[in-house]
Amino acid sequence: MRRYDMGFKMDAIKLAKEVGATKTAKELDIPQSTLDTWIVKHNRGDYDNIAVTPKQALSLADENKRLAQEVRELKRVNKILKDASAFFAQSQKK
């Protein structure tokens, strides 16, 4: 039996709403009955309160840390570029 992660299911449901369930099932190579089940569960709210697993929480925390470091680096580079721009603008005025 094949298992699908929640992200895949939600993307499939969204696509089914846009182009139809039959076409979506064929394009994603999943049984029509499986997609229909996901749509029914989604419509009755079964997928609304899906908890984040500890592994997902750790990966999100790691991603947040990496992005914070990237923001700091980009701010540092921006400051350097602003300072250089001001320096060259001032030297052209002379």
**Same domain (yes/no): 12, 29:** yes
**Same domain (yes/no): 55, 38:** no
| Number of structural domains the chain divides into | 2
**Same domain (yes/no): 36, 57:** no
pLDDT digits (tens, 9 = 90+) for 14-59: 999 999 999 999 999 999 999 999 999 999 888 876 656 676 666 7
pLDDT digits (tens, 9 = 90+) for 61-90: 888 898 999 999 999 999 999 999 999 988
Domain residue limits at 19: 1-50
SS (H, E, C) 28-93: HCCCHHHHHHHHHHHHCCCCCCCCCCHHHHHHHHHHHHHHHHHHHHHHHHHHHHHHHHHHHHHHHH
Look at the pTM and tell me if it is higher than 0.75.
no
**Same domain (yes/no): 57, 91:** yes
**Same domain (yes/no): 60, 46:** no
